Chains A and B, each alone.
Chain A
Amino acid sequence: MRMNRCRSSSKRERQSWLQNGINYWRHRIRGYELALCTDAWNPRLRTGALYRHFSRLYTGYDVLRKVSFKLPEVVRRSLWTIIAVMPLLARAFDLLVLGGGSGGLACARRAAELGARTALIERGPLGGTCVNVGCVPKKDKIEIIPGSASFSDGSKPTVEVNGQQYTASHIVIATGGRPDVPTETEIPGADFGITSDGFFNLEDLPRQAVVVGAGYIAVELAGIFNHLGCKTSLVIRYDEVLRKFDSMISSNCTTELESDGVALLKRSQVCNVSRNSSGRLVVTVVRGNAADHILSDVDCLVWAIGRKPNCQDLNMSKLGISLDSTGHICTDEYQNTNHSGIYALGDVCGKALLTPVAIAAGRKLANRLFGGEANAKLDYKNIPTVVFSHPPIATIGLTEGEAEAKYGQNIKVYRSTFTPLYYAVTEHKRKCVMKLVCANANEQVVGLHMQGMGCDEILQGFAVAIQMGATKANFDATLAIHPTSAEELVTLR
Chain B
Amino acid sequence: MARLVRPFRSRWYHRFSEKYEYDLLVIGGGSGGLACAKEAAQYGKRVAVMDYVKPSPQGSVWGLGGTCVNVGCVPKKLMHHAALLGAGVRDARSYGWDLPAEATVDWSTLASKLRDHVRSLNWGHRVQLQDKHVKYFNLRGSFLDKHSIRGVSSTKEVLLLAENVVLAVGLRPKFPENVPGAVEHGITSDDIFWLQKSPGKSLVVGGGYVALETAGFLRGLGLDTTLMVRSCCLRGFDQEMATLVSTSLREEGVKFLSGCRPQRVQRSQEGRLQVTWQRRQNVSEEEQKDEWDEKEGQEDFDTVMWAVGRQPVTKDLQLEKAGVQTEATTGKVLVGLHDETSCPGVYAIGDVAEGRPELTPVAIKAGRLLAQRLFAGSTTLMDYTNVPTTVFTPLELGSVGLTEEKAVTLLSPDLIEVYHAYYKPLEYSVPNRNSNQCYIKVVCEREGKQRILGIHFLGPNAGEVTQGFALALRCGASYSDLKSTCGIHPTCAEELIKLQITKRSGKDPTVTGC
Contacts and interface: CB of A to CB of B under 8 A. Distances in A.
A167 B67 CA distance: 70
B361 A457 contact: no
Number of chain A interface residues as a range: 35 or more
Interface in B458-509: 460-461, 463-472, 474-477, 481-482, 484-494, 496-497
A465 B482 CA distance: 9
Interface string B111-150: 0011011000000000000000000000000000000000
B403 interface: no
Contacts of B489: 130, 354-356
Contacts of A467: 481, 484-485
Contacts of A131: 490
B514 A474 contact: no
Contact of A459 (B68, B468, B481): B468
A105 interface: yes
A474 B474 contact: yes
A482 interface: yes
B442 to A, nearest CB: 11
B484 A481 contact: no
A351 to B, nearest CB: 13
A41 interface: no
Interface of B: 68, 73-74, 77-78, 81, 110, 113-114, 116-117, 359-362, 364-365, 383, 386-390, 398, 460-461, 463-472, 474-477, 481-482, 484-494, 496-497, 513-514
B117 A461 contact: no
Contact of A458 (B383, B465, B484): B465
A456 interface: yes
A458 B463 CA distance: 9
B472 A484 contact: no
Contacts of B81: 421-422
A345 interface: no
B482 A425 contact: no
Given A357-B486, A461-B467, A462-B468, A483 B74 contact: yes
Contacts of A475: 471
Contacts of A457: 460-461, 464-465, 491-493
A484 B471 contact: no
13 contacts: A130-B489, A359-B514, A421-B77, A457-B491, A461-B466, A461-B468, A465-B472, A465-B474, A468-B475, A474-B471, A478-B474, A483-B73, A487-B467
A479 B387 contact: yes
Given A460-B496, A460-B497, 10 more contacts: A356-B486, A424-B74, A424-B78, A425-B113, A457-B493, A460-B468, A464-B481, A479-B387, A481-B398, A483-B73
Contacts of B73: 482-483
A460 B398 contact: no
Nearest to A459: B488
A135 B467 contact: no
A479 B365 contact: yes
Interface stretch (A69-77, A147-155, A245-253, A381-389): A381-389
B470 A479 contact: yes
A378 B485 CA distance: 10
Contact of B485 (A463, A486, A489): A463
A233 interface: no
A470 B514 contact: no
A477 B493 CA distance: 22
Contacts of B471: 461-462, 465, 470, 474-475, 478, 490
B497 A484 contact: no
Contact of A484 (B362, B464, B474, B491): B464
A354 B486 contact: yes
Nearest to B68: A482
Given A457-B464, A460-B497, A479 B488 contact: no
A220 to B, nearest CB: 13
Contacts of A175: none
A144 interface: no
Contacts of B361: 479-482, 487
Given A356-B489, A394-B488, A464 B467 contact: no
B459 to A, nearest CB: 9
Contact of B472 (A354, A378, A422, A464): A464
Nearest to B482: A464
A218 B367 CA distance: 47
A132 B426 CA distance: 10
A360 interface: yes
